[in-house]
């Protein structure tokens, strides 16, 4: 008989034997946590907007994250980077907190389900094409044909399928990289927690925290690069 690890979400009858619904419920919990922390940070900022926080809390956490994200986006996208921060910041924060919840006993990370990852990857995929067309007009399609002009355009016949395959594989690689790493991390933490229950899991939880951060950053930076390439005028 196949053994399924206990999760708090499985206490919901409809989600007990429906992994997709269980992932959806966990994702909603993550979004709820982000919303509550965001509202708390906003309230703290409204009370003393010009005074740094005297202790680390929701405000300090989001200030740290946003400052890091802003600086990173500016270093990659040089033309109006603020236009894309809403998407890239949302991607990083959602994936990071989705990864983190998997470190809590009784929860499986939504990013350990490929459905979650492919949904986020497709949002990034369609959005960067949208911004590419918006910024460059229909000249955006030139990146698919290469830098050929005149008679040399015949080589575009070779370039177009190569470029299309490369673009279609972007959401696939984003999905699989995050899914594989988070599934392996969650299984490792769960196994050693069940085996030892003391000290050793702390080591793997610390490593797991690093994996959560790194995988969120990798997804974020690749998304940033894709948008930067799409909106660049140097196709």
Position 24 scores a pLDDT of: 93
Crossing angle for the helix pair 114-136 and 200-231, nearest 10 degrees?
20
Whether 44 contacts 59, CB under 8 Å: yes
Take residue 31 and report the two structure tokens written for it.
């979004």
3-class DSSP state for residue 235? coil
Domain spans, the chain: 8-231
Q: pLDDT digits over 76-100, tens only?
A: 998 889 999 999 999 999 999 999 9
Mean pLDDT of the chain: 85
Q: pLDDT digits over 44-77, tens only?
A: 888 877 666 667 788 889 989 999 999 999 999 9
Q: pLDDT digits over 179-203, tens only?
A: 988 888 777 766 666 665 555 566 7
pTM score:
0.88
């Amino acid at each position: 008989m196949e053994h399924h690890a206990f999760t708090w979400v499985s206490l919901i009858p409809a989600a007990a034997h429906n992994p997709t619904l269980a992932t959806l419920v966990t994702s909603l919990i993550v979004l709820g946590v982000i919303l509550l922390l965001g509202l708390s940070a906003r309230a703290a900022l409204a009370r003393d907007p010009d005074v740094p926080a005297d202790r680390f809390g929701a405000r300090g956490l989001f200030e740290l994250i946003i400052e890091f994200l802003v600086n990173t986006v500016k270093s990659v996208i040089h033309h109006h980077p603020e236009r894309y921060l809403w998407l890239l910041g949302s991607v990083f924060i959602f994936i990071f907190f989705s990864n983190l919840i998997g470190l809590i006993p009784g929860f499986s990370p939504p990013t350990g389900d490929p459905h979650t990852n492919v949904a986020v990857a497709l949002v990034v995929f369609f959005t960067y094409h949208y911004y590419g067309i918006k910024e460059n007009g229909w000249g955006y399609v030139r990146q698919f044909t290469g830098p050929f002009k005149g008679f040399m355009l015949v080589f575009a016949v070779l370039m177009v399928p190569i470029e299309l395959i490369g673009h279609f594989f972007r959401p696939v690689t984003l999905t699989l990289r995050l899914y594989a790493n988070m599934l392996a991390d969650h299984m490792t933490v769960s196994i050693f927690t069940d085996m030892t229950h003391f000290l050793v899991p702390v080591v793997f939880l610390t490593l797991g925290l690093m994996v959560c951060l790194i995988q969120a950053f990798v997804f974020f930076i690749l998304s940033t690069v894709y948008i930067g390439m799409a909106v660049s005028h140097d196709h």
